[in-house]
Amino acid sequence: MSRTKKITVLLGSTALALSLTACGGGDEYCDLIEEYEANASSMEDMADQDAAVDMAEETRAIADAAPDDIAEDWNTVADAMDKLANFDPEDADMEDPDSMGPLENLDELEQAGTNVEEHVQDNCDVSLN
C-alpha cells in the first residue's frame, strides 16, 4: 500500500470510527465528538476537498477542547488532517519527505490515533472499532 493511501486510510478510519459512535459524556470534549458524528455523513469522502476541510476543522475543534492528557495526540491528528485537507499529491516530490504533507511522521500519527481511540473509549464511553 502506498504511503499516501496508508495515511488516507488511517485518517479516514479514525474519522469514520468517530463518526459511527456517539459520546456518552456531557462535557464539551465528548459533545464535540457527538457533533462530529452528526456531521459525518457530509465528510465521508476525503477525496472531496470541502469534506476534507470540514473534517479538519471539526478535528481541530475537538483537539482544542481535548483534556490535557490527550491534547498532544489530538493535535497530532488535527495537524495531519489540516495537511491532508490542503494536500495535493501532484505537488509531492516522492524524494522529498517535506513535500509529502500528511505522510510525515506516520509512526507518530499512528500512535496518536491509537491513543485518541483509547482515550475516547475510556472517557466518553465510546468504542472506536
Chain mean pLDDT for the chain: 75
Domain presence at residue 129: no
User: What digits encode the pLDDT tens for the residues 16-28?
Assistant: 444 433 444 448 9
CA 65 to chain centre: 14
Whole-model pTM?
Answer: 0.71
Q: Supply the DSSP symbol for 66.
A: S
> How far is it, in rounded angstroms, from Cα 81 to Cα 1?
20
| Rg (the chain; Cα; Å) | 14
User: What digits encode the pLDDT tens for the residues 55-93?
Assistant: 899 999 999 999 999 999 999 999 988 888 887 777 766
Q: How many domains does the chain have?
A: 1
Q: Look up the domain containing 118 and give its range.
A: 3-124
